[in-house]
Amino acid sequence: MFAVSRLMPHNIEGYFRLVRDFAPLLIGAGIAVRTWMKYRAAHSWPTTQGTVWSTQSRPGERGERAKWVAELTYSYTVNGEYYSGTRPIKARNEQEADRIAAEWKARNVSVRYEQSKPASSALLLEDQPGGTLLH
């Protein structure tokens, strides 16, 4: 009981510090849950063909849990309208991110899109030729 009471702030500044310290963690967890839910729902969305038209390697951001990321930007068409999306792929280091980015540039991909909101899309691992986004 003593240990728990020592963790709890006893003044208003302590509560602000507690919120400040845990806010990034909560935001990151919220983003992760939202992404997971989107990709889980995407399994039932229709597919269309798309093309990766831009790639870049960059350092991973806090919520991505990767040191480096190869980010794919792709475009696709639904009912004659053009849309685009992005898909980060985790990499261990800058060289791996550069290699992944180079391999995916100008590549055709299968894109899942939300039928009621076609601007919402996802690239799923199992939909891609060869069954992977991690070549």
Distance of CA 33 to the CA centre of its chain: 11
Residue 2's pLDDT is what?
46
3-state secondary structure of 121: strand
Q: pLDDT tens digit string along 7-30? A: 555 667 766 676 677 666 656 555
- For 62, residues 6+ apart whose C-beta sits below 8 A from its C-beta are 24, 28
pLDDT of 111 > 90? The answer is yes
What share of the chain has pLDDT > 90, as a percent? 50
C-alpha pair distances (Å), 70 with each of 17, 27, 47, 92, 105: 35, 23, 23, 10, 11
Q: 45 and 122 in contact (C-beta within 8 Å)?
A: yes
116 vs 24, more confident: 116
Q: What is the pLDDT of residues 32-86, one digit of tens each?
A: 556 555 666 788 999 999 999 999 999 988 766 778 999 999 999 999 999 999 9
- Nearest CA to 103 out of 121, 76, 130 is that of 130
pTM of the model: 0.69
Pull the structure tokens for residue 21: 């310290």
Higher pLDDT, 7 or 97: 97
Q: Note the pLDDT of residue 135.
A: 40
Q: What is the pLDDT of residue 30?
A: 56
Instruction: Tell me the residue type at 47.
Output: T
Residue 1 is predicted with a pLDDT of 47
What are the extents of the domains in the chain?
A: 2-39, 43-128
Q: Rounded to 10 degrees, what is the CA torsion of 59, 64, 67, 68?
A: -50
